[in-house]
Structure 1
Amino acid sequence: MSDLYSRIYDVVRLIPAGRATSYGAIARFVGSPRGSRMVGWAMNQCHAHEEYTPAHRVVNRLGILSGKHHFPGENLMQELLESEGLVVLDDQIQNFDQVFWDPFKELNWNAI
């Protein structure tokens, strides 16, 4: 696993239940501001690692579940988010700005 993927996973594991963030927010935080797609690729690979990574909490900048097709079943990503209290309609987290978790605001820089 690359060092970048490790840093991405470390940040994603800190997202609390009931909150969500974007690929871009994670990319910026780990020092790769144009690396949103890389974060998406990392989320797609995280199931292969021993430590649990809540990839369902990472969505696109509009709160759309753009990675849902990488989860088993038809609606697992949505079901996981809803089980944490988020409301998802038409593959989009409702009130995304209110549940958005910004690592720059939420984390101590020494956390990862």
Structure 2
Amino acid sequence: MTEEFHQAVLLTISDIPHGRVSSYGVIAGLAGFPGYARQVGRLLAQLPQGSSIPWHRVINGQGKISRPLDSEAFLRQKKRLQDEGISVNNGRISLKQYGWGR
């Protein structure tokens, strides 16, 4: 993807407020690239360790963490979300309660 895509997506993710989540598809649309949800996921997977981008606030459109249950990545994202007061039940987050950007 282009540098324009990268910048728009990362700026949009940076706008997600503390204690809220958004989906890959919503982020793509808000960034001006509707239909590019998978590319948003790929970009987040390439973020360097320790990045200040709140990657953990991005989940899939079904309200789920997109990592295998009990994997290290899943547990790290779940903990970060819970630290912000977001309820995670069996890998699910209520988009109705915590969703942002729709």
How far off is 1:47 after superposition? 2.3
Helix, strand or coil for the counterpart of 2:5?
Answer: helix
Unmatched tracts of structure 1, length 5 or more: 105-112
Retained in 1: the 8 A contact 2:13–2:53? Answer: yes
Matched residues, number: 100
Q: Structure 2 vs 1, CA of residues 3 and 67 (structure 1 numbering), >3 Å: closer, same or farther? A: farther
Q: Are 2:68 and 1:59 equivalent residues in the alignment? A: no
Retained in 2: the 8 A contact 1:47–1:53? Answer: no
Provide TM-score, normalisation by structure 2. 0.85
Provide TM-score, normalisation by structure 1. 0.78
Alignment of 1:33-72 (within 5 A): 33-47=34-48, 52-67=52-67, 72=72
Cα distance in 1, alignment partners of residues 68 and 52 from structure 2: 17
How far off is 1:74 after superposition? 5.2
Unmatched tracts of structure 2, length 5 or more: none
Give me the CA root mean square deviation. Answer: 2.3
How far off is 1:29 after superposition? 1.2
Retained in 2: the 8 A contact 1:28–1:34? Answer: yes
How far off is 1:72 after superposition? 5.0
Residue of structure 1 in register with 2:95 after alignment:
96
Residue of structure 2 in register with 1:27 after alignment:
28
Which consecutive segments of 4 or more residues in structure 1 shift more than 3 A? 71-74
Q: Are 2:22 and 1:18 equivalent residues in the alignment? A: no
